[in-house]
């Protein structure tokens, strides 16, 4: 049986902001449905929590410092991607929505007006996309139709309109024997935090329940409440559109031979620890939803359904795992691991779980942290992060899931700090990252 793949990629959606994960501010029945008919990875992370580096790694399985090292840096057009591998295995490849890998800098003009030539589209055969947008009601896409280039404004809210394009594509594929790898990449719930009126009507700043680590500082809570009301409305709009995609897959019969993989590129602090946006190693910034579903209903017994995996999965693991679901071996240039076996009910084929994942930020970001850092997150629930030549953070997430207590300079935890420091040093050596660590550990 042929196996298709559909990635649904959100932007700036933290894992905590789903009803699946018990957020009382939001209702996401279709994302919850994906999890019930699939496997959710509760410990999936964005190893570099900002758009461009994550997206480079998700397509190439190469760590950002060797691929797309910072915001608004270009993916080398000579670098193969997962699309090239699928092309070589007889798949049709289609990219729809936000790209953000051509290195266009907003200071030179609006990125929505920037046209990405075919040779810099990551090997995808079909393309309806844009470099960057940040304006959900004024979104432009470009590509080719019938061999002719186009650049047009979407007639409505971005997520709704891009979903319309994907529904049309799935209709076309209904009676097509060529398997497909398709990507639906939407900018919401990225700021500005605006959604259609029907979604905004369900959320008001006065009703927002904060995470416990949002400090009781008036300016922090006011900004967080104002933004979270729109954020949750955008998430519910996204969820409704995911429901439209799932219904189309069911109606066309494609659901039973299509792996549906839903994830985000990074999270959003929304006032936790007094910070906003991303590019920090706190949980709200690095934890992302990651669900593998599809090909699993009507009694098909080849997969775990409704299971939650505690596997540490990083951005470099997405492409190899996706290929593995389709029985395609990852190429040698991919650095991540194939964890597709965790989806199947064949436990004897499971690879070893990683003891830790590598976290990076090579540049700073406005309104969060303005210095580069590196860190590790371990399977036993510890997080350790350093600035250059200086330890910064150490949390025991088992006892302190909201990261209130920084243990990094507490001598009671010196042994654990040394252990984690050595682990981070090994990651730097393994990946060829020249980051300078504090050497007295």
**Tens-place pLDDT, residues 196-212:** 999 999 999 999 999 99
Q: What percent of the chain has pLDDT over 70?
A: 96
pLDDT at res. 1: 66
Residue 19: alpha-carbon gap to chain centroid: 18
Per the confidence metrics, is the pTM higher than 0.85? yes
Averaged pLDDT score across all residues of the chain: 94
Does one domain contain both 139 and 280?
Answer: yes
Taking a C-beta distance cutoff of 8 angstroms, is the pair 360, 374 a contact?
yes
Does one domain contain both 54 and 129?
Answer: yes
> At which of 289, 318, 349 does a domain end?
349
Distance, CA of 167 to CA of 172 (rounded, Å) = 9
pLDDT at res. 271: 97
Domain interval for residue 412: 371-431
Instruction: Decide if 356 is inside a domain.
Output: no
Mean pLDDT within 22-43: 94
Instruction: Decide if 357 is inside a domain.
Output: no
pLDDT at res. 301: 55
pLDDT at res. 143: 97
Cis peptide before 380 (omega within 30 of 0): no
Distance, CA of 302 to CA of 421 (rounded, Å) = 41
With cut-offs at 50, 70 and 90, classify the pLDDT of residue 440: low
pLDDT at res. 392: 97
Where is average pLDDT lowest: 160-164, 171-175, 341-345, 406-410?
341-345
DSSP strand E in 252-303: where?
258-264, 290-293
> At which of 315, 349, 383 does a domain end?
349
pLDDT at res. 297: 45
Instruction: Evaluate if residue 180 carries a pLDDT over 60.
Output: yes
With cut-offs at 50, 70 and 90, classify the pLDDT of residue 441: low
Strands 180-185 vs 92-98: parallel, antiparallel or unpaired: parallel
**Which whole-number Å values give the CA distances from 333 to 54, 61, 319, 329, in the listed order?**
17, 8, 12, 12
Instruction: Decide if 194 is inside a domain.
Output: yes
Instruction: Evaluate if residue 429 carries a pLDDT over 60.
Output: yes
Does one domain contain both 290 and 380?
Answer: no
Instruction: Decide if 394 is inside a domain.
Output: yes
Instruction: Decide if 439 is inside a domain.
Output: no
Instruction: Decide if 107 is inside a domain.
Output: yes
Instruction: Decide if 332 is inside a domain.
Output: yes
For position 387, which CATH number holds?
A: 3.30.1120.10
Q: What percent of the chain has pLDDT over 90?
A: 87
pLDDT at res. 344: 81
Does one domain contain both 38 and 119?
Answer: yes
**Which whole-number Å values give the CA distances from 117 to 123, 129, 149, in the listed order?**
11, 11, 10
pLDDT at res. 298: 42
**Which runs of consecutive H residues, i.e. helices, occur in 7-77?**
29-36, 51-60
For position 257, which CATH number holds?
A: 3.40.720.10
Instruction: Evaluate if residue 58 carries a pLDDT over 50.
Output: yes
Does one domain contain both 233 and 152?
Answer: yes
Does one domain contain both 414 and 375?
Answer: yes
pLDDT at res. 302: 65
Does one domain contain both 345 and 376?
Answer: no
User: Which residue, among 285, 273, 203, 268, has the nearest Cα to 237 in the 3D structure?
Assistant: 203
With cut-offs at 50, 70 and 90, classify the pLDDT of residue 150: very high
With cut-offs at 50, 70 and 90, classify the pLDDT of residue 244: very high
Does one domain contain both 246 and 190?
Answer: yes
Distance, CA of 87 to CA of 297 (rounded, Å) = 28
Domain count across the chain? 2
Taking a C-beta distance cutoff of 8 angstroms, is the pair 20, 32 a contact?
yes
Instruction: Decide if 135 is inside a domain.
Output: yes
Mean pLDDT within 385-391: 95
pLDDT in tens, 218-233: 999 999 999 999 999 9
Does one domain contain both 424 and 329?
Answer: no
Does one domain contain both 340 and 380?
Answer: no
Does one domain contain both 337 and 392?
Answer: no
Distance, CA of 88 to CA of 85 (rounded, Å) = 5
With cut-offs at 50, 70 and 90, classify the pLDDT of residue 299: very low
Does one domain contain both 383 and 317?
Answer: no
> At which of 349, 384, 419 does a domain end?
349
Mean pLDDT within 353-366: 88
With cut-offs at 50, 70 and 90, classify the pLDDT of residue 296: low
């Amino acid at each position: 049986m042929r196996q298709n793949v559909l990635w649904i990629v959100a932007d700036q959606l933290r894992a905590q902001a789903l009803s699946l994960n018990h957020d009382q501010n939001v209702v996401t029945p279709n994302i919850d449905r994906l999890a019930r008919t699939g496997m959710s990875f509760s410990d999936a992370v964005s190893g570099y929590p900002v758009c461009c580096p994550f997206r480079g790694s998700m397509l190439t399985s190469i760590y950002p410092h060797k691929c797309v090292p910072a915001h608004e840096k270009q993916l080398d057009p000579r670098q193969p991607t997962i699309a090239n591998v699928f092309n070589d295995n007889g798949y049709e490849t289609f990219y729809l929505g936000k790209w953000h890998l051509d290195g266009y800098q907003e200071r030179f003009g609006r990125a929505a007006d920037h046209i990405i030539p075919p040779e810099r589209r990551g090997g995808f055969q079909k393309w309806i996309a844009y470099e960057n947008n940040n304006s959900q009601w004024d979104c432009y896409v470009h590509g080719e139709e019938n061999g002719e280039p186009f650049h047009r404004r979407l007639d409505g809210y971005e997520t709704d309109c891009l979903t319309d394009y994907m529904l049309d594509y799935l209709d076309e594929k209904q009676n097509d024997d060529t398997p497909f790898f398709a990507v639906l990449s939407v900018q919401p719930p990225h700021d500005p935090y605006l959604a259609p009126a029907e979604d905004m009507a369900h959320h008001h700043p006065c009703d927002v329940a904060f995470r416990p680590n949002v400090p009781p500082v008036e300016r922090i809570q006011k900004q967080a409440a104002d933004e979270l009301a729109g954020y949750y409305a955008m998430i519910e709009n996204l969820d409704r559109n995911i429901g439209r995609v799932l219904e189309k897959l069911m109606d066309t019969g494609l659901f039973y031979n299509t792996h549906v993989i839903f994830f985000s590129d990074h999270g959003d602090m929304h006032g936790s620890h007094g910070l906003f946006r991303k590019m920090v190693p706190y949980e709200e910034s690095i934890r992302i939803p990651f669900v593998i579903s599809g090909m699993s209903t009507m009694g098909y017994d080849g997969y775990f359904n409704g299971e939650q995996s505690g596997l540490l999965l990083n951005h470099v693991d997405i492409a190899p795992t996706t290929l593995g679901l389709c029985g395609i071996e990852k190429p040698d240039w991919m650095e991540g691991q194939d964890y597709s076996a965790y989806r199947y009910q064949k436990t004897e084929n499971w690879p070893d779980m990683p003891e830790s994942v590598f976290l990076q930020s090579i540049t700073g970001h406005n309104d969060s942290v303005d210095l580069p850092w590196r860190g590790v997150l371990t399977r036993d629930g510890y997080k350790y992060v350093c600035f250059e030549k200086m330890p910064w953070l150490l949390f025991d997430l088992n006892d302190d899931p909201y990261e209130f207590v920084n243990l990094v300079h507490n001598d009671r935890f010196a042994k654990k700090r040394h252990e984690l420091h050595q682990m981070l040093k090994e990651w730097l050596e393994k990946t060829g990252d020249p980051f300078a660590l504090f050497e007295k550990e």
